[in-house]
Every structure is written in C-alpha cells, then in structure tokens.
Structure 1
Amino acid sequence: MFQPNGPLPPEIYWRRRALALGAIVLALILVVWLIVSLRGGSETAEAGTTGVEVDATPTSVSASATSSANSGSGSGGSGGGSGSSDDDRDDDSETTATSETSSTPAPPVAPGQCADQSLAIKVSRDKPTYPAGEEPTFTTIITNIGDAQCDRDLGSGFQQVLVYSLDGNRRLWSNTDCFPQTEPDVRSLAPGEQAVFNVKWSVKTSTPECVDQPEPVREPVGPGAYTVVGQIGELRSAPEPFNLG
C-alpha cells in the first residue's frame, strides 16, 4: 500500500507524495491563519470602538471644566483696578469691595473738554521722608499732551490725591473724602501747557463716607513707607513712594 508501484523509479513517487503532503499542510496553515486573522480583526474593531467611547467622556468633562473656568475668570476680571478701603478684611471681602468700587463709572467729561487721553498727570512729594509731626505736601501736575488747545474743569472735586500702603492694597486717604469742593475751575490748556496744584495731608486716614458723617473717625497714620497717587477722571499717575518717620 505504501510502496510506490509503477513504471517510474520509486524516488519520483515519494517526491510526489511529499509535495502533495506539503500542499495539504500549507493549505491547513492558510486556513488556520485566515480564521485567526478574522477573529483578531473583529476583536480589534470592538476594542477600537470602546476606546473612542471612553475618550469622549473626559473630553466632555474637560470642556465643561474649561467653560466653568472661563466663567470664573470673567466674573473675576470685572473686579480689577483701584485700591481697597481702610477696613481690615479677609481676601474675599477685599475682592468684593474692589469689584464694587471699580464698577462705579467715573464722572463723564463735559462735552468739548479735554479727553483723558489728551492729558497726563504726575504727582510728587516735597520730601522723601517726613519726621513725626510734619504734614506732607503733594504736588500734582496736569499736562496737555494733545496737539490742540482744549478746556478742562480741574476743580478739586474732579482731581484726587490718594495715599496708599506701599503695596497699594490699602487706601488710607484722599483729599476729596472729607472736603469735597465742587466749584468749577475750567482751565484752557495749550499743547504742552501744565496746570500745577498743591495739597497738604494731615497724616490721618479718611474714607469716602467721611463727608456724610457728623464726626468722622480719622486715625493717625503711623511711621512706615507709603505711596501717593494722583487721579483726574479715569487717568492715574504712577505711584510715588515716601516715608513717615
């Protein structure tokens, strides 16, 4: 049965049987490989679909978190700007107070008068250090930096001199708190012309509510480093440091 019979030499028949057997084995290997490939591709497709669903969830959460962060930044951004009041508050209270203060619009410039953009303001002190008992004198200089002559009401009710703590976080005094003078003082300023004003500080605190109080509480300001700032309309000078002895 196993011995090849025929007119040809036995080696030829053995070779034919080996080739046939090899072809059968190769066909079986191909069939097994095809089955394994089909099953593996199906599992990969399922895994890929699951992976997309899983990735979608953190993306959605991230978008929500970003939206919340932007909302928080928007509400916080509206509170930038001016210094805090005299009262000692925690950080949250100071942020709220600052936001409320900055939301109050500055008095509008009368029609036809110099716009804030055409002016520059600078403040200086007459000494870098004041010994105990001496009242500082501050000078504000308002300059027309525009290219045309214009008028501006520079009455003391429209310009302020303010004293802050050295870091600028605590507002200590303003010349308009307790003595708001609203008499007009309209100046006609040519390009490059300056208007100079002097104001003296009693080295005591004040608040905007001072004018409405019959007996306002004004505390003496102790030794230390402070800054003075000049303001007209929405225009502010650079802070000028000084010391109290």
Structure 2
Amino acid sequence: MDPDTFRSDIGVDVYWRRRMAALVGVLVVVAVVAWACSSSGPERASKGQAELSGSPTPDPIVTVMPTVTITPSPSPTASSGKARPVTRAKRPGDACESSDLVLNMQGLGEVYTQDSRPRFILTLVNIGKVMCTADVGPRAMEVRITSGSDRVWSSADCVSGDTDDIRKLDRGVPYVREVEWDRRRSGGDCAADRDSALAGTYVAMARSPGLKSRKAVFHLR
C-alpha cells in the first residue's frame, strides 16, 4: 500500500470508520437474505402441500378435545324386567268415564216474571273414542238452584219410583233434556208444603258424578 494513502485530507480515523460501516452493511444484507431463505423452506412447502391435497391443517384446540360418545340409557321396562301394564281398550257399551263426558246447561231466559217458570236445556256429550252408556236420570244428572249460600231447589229432591235412566251415548251426539222449575223450594221433607221462592237473583248449575256445568244466572220478578 502506498504510504502516502493516509496522508490525504480525510485522515486515518475517518478512513477506517468508512471501511467498517461498509462492512457492517454487507453483513446485514447477508443476514436478511439468509432469514428469507430459511422462512420459505420446509414450513411453507408443507403448507403448500396441505393446500394442494385439500386437507386443512388441524386446529390444535380441536385436536386436544376429548371425543364424547352418548349411549342411550335403557328404558325402565328393559332395566327392571317388568312389563308395563296394558290398559284394556274400552268396548262399545261400557259405562262412560267422566273424562269422556262434557256436561253443559243453558238457561232459556234471564228474567222471569210472576207468570213464567225458569227453563233450562241440559246437554251431555260423549267425546270418547267409542259409544258408552250413562245414567241421565234426575238424581244422576241433577239441576240445583241456589241463592247465595241458600240451597233453594234440586231436581233430585222428592223423586219417586225408578230414577235410573241409562242411555247410550254415541261419540259426538249430545243427549238433550229440558228441565223446568216451578218456582217453589224443595228439601228433605217432601210431605211439607213447599214455599214459593222470593223475587231475586238465582244461580242454576247441572251436576253429575265427576262433572259440573257452567253457572246460569237468572232473576225472578
């Protein structure tokens, strides 16, 4: 090297600083290139192969989740070894169950003057699957009239003779009966004179074993 090289105007220190800066720059470039080559290596190749094969990379959360198998529990009949009781199908002509019947009553008026008697229409309908029989006599299907807590009259009072009236009820075909009240009180003593009911407000209701109709409110003048 020419001994006069360092005698230039830049000086020795400045010269070596420039040489070191150039060397560091070259090293940085080499490091960046090496990192780029390593990041595009096997990992990217494996991702590309997964995309080409159509198999997505498994989710690590899903991979560690346990597999749950639901096994249906045995039925009570199978586990206990006992058969469930079989309900016998109702045959046509059997006695009606209260759950198969609908009882209703409708008053034919709301206000009755002194020369008119209250009248009511009773209907009993079989809603069961088959024809059944029911007692629709005056005691089995009673009409009761009250005024507050006062029991004024009942169709079941002072009934003589055979009071049973067994009827066949076809499904959906109502049994219809009309009941008339003579405006007199009734009670346990059928031999006593019956007093006339006073003017006022009354409530009528039909009753049968396990059944009640809606209330019918009316007035006597």
CA distance change for structure 1 residues 229 and 148 in 2, over 3 Å: closer, same or farther? same
Q: Deviations over 1:141-182 (max 9, x none)?
A: 1111222221112222321111011x4x22110012122453
Tell me the residue number matched to 1:195. Answer: 175
From 108, 124, 128, the equivalent of 2:110 is 128
Once the two structures are superposed, the pairs formed by residues 1-245 of structure 1 within 5 Å of their partners are: 112-165=94-147, 167=148, 169-207=149-187, 209-211=188-190, 215-245=191-221
Contact map agreement 1:226 1:243 (CA 8 A) in 2: yes
Identity %: 26
Q: Which runs of 4+ in 1 moved over 4 A?
A: none
- Per-residue deviation, 1:206: 0.8
User: Alignment partner of 1:112: what SS?
Assistant: coil
Larger radius of gyration: 2
Q: Deviations over 1:164-217 (max 9, x none)?
A: 11x4x221100121224534322111221100111211101111x134xxx323
CA distance change for structure 1 residues 188 and 140 in 2, over 3 Å: closer, same or farther? same
How many residues align? The count is: 129
* Partner Cα distance (1:184, 1:173) in 2: 20
Q: TM-score, normalised by structure 1?
A: 0.49
* Partner Cα distance (2:173, 2:123) in 1: 10
CA distance change for structure 1 residues 244 and 159 in 2, over 3 Å: closer, same or farther? same
User: Alignment partner of 1:162: what SS?
Assistant: strand
- Per-residue deviation, 1:129: 0.7
CA distance change for structure 1 residues 176 and 118 in 2, over 3 Å: closer, same or farther? same
Contact map agreement 2:139 2:155 (CA 8 A) in 1: no
* Partner Cα distance (2:98, 2:108) in 1: 26
* Partner Cα distance (2:111, 2:161) in 1: 29
Ranges in structure 1 where 5+ consecutive residues have no aligned partner: 1-110
User: Alignment partner of 1:210: what SS?
Assistant: coil
Q: TM-score, normalised by structure 2?
A: 0.54
Higher-helix-fraction structure: 1
CA distance change for structure 1 residues 241 and 180 in 2, over 3 Å: closer, same or farther? farther
* Partner Cα distance (1:181, 1:193) in 2: 28
* Partner Cα distance (2:140, 2:161) in 1: 9
Contact map agreement 2:135 2:141 (CA 8 A) in 1: no
* Partner Cα distance (1:172, 1:184) in 2: 24
CA distance change for structure 1 residues 115 and 210 in 2, over 3 Å: closer, same or farther? farther
Superposed CA RMSD in Å reads 1.8
Letter of the 1:185 counterpart: D
Ranges in structure 2 where 5+ consecutive residues have no aligned partner: 1-92
* Partner Cα distance (1:234, 1:159) in 2: 11
